[in-house]
Structures are given as C-alpha cells and as structure tokens.
Amino acid sequence: MDRTSAWLYDIQKAIGEIEFFFEGFPKTIEEYKSNILLKRAVEREFEIIGEALNRAVKEDASIANKVTEARNIIGLRNIVIHAYDNISDESMWSVLISHLPLLKKEVSDLLADSKT
C-alpha cells in the first residue's frame, strides 16, 4: 500500500469513528453540544482527517481537485488545533451533517480507484 492510500484509509477510519461515536446517542445538535466527550472525540477525528488529507495532498496534488473543500478540511484541522477557543458547536455540527457524508464518498471513490 502506498503512503497516499494509507492516509486515505486513515481518513476513512476517522469518519467511521465519528459515525460510531453517535451510536446510542440521538444525532442532534443538542446532544452534541451537551456532551463534552463526544465533542472532543469528534474534534480529535477531524484533526486526524485534516492532517491525513494534508499529507495526501502534499504527496499527490491531484487529490485536492478530487476532494470537495480539501483546503477547508485541512484548515479545519488547523482551527481545531490552533484556535480551539474559537470553535463553535454550530460550525462543527454543520461540517458533520453537511460535509462529512460527501468526504466519506469521495475518499471511498479514491480508494476504489487506487485499487484498479
């Protein structure tokens, strides 16, 4: 397995972890906002997603064109790490609901393409 594929698998795994975190919890913003462990776990997985995507893009610049909002995903990682005190629950929730499903599909497609 090449390094780029390994990083894409890391992203896929992190997305799976986020989905797992919501098992047994209602997937609502209210639950997210009230559960500090859930919020910190989700933030950590976004750190991993952003870092892995950053590494993959540096290795293969074409990935930036194949992942919608690649730069914003990498930027989110930087915000979570460096501007942690400015993270809003609403912003993170928006990423979870609106952007994570598309990222999951795009990473899955990239991994499938790498096997052919």
Q: What is the pLDDT of residues 59-82, one digit of tens each?
A: 999 999 999 999 999 999 999 999
pTM score of the predicted model:
0.92
What six digits make up the tokens of 8? 């894409």
Q: What pLDDT shows up at residue 84?
A: 79
- The number of CA neighbours under 13 Å toward the Cβ of 115 is 8
- Name the DSSP class of 22: T
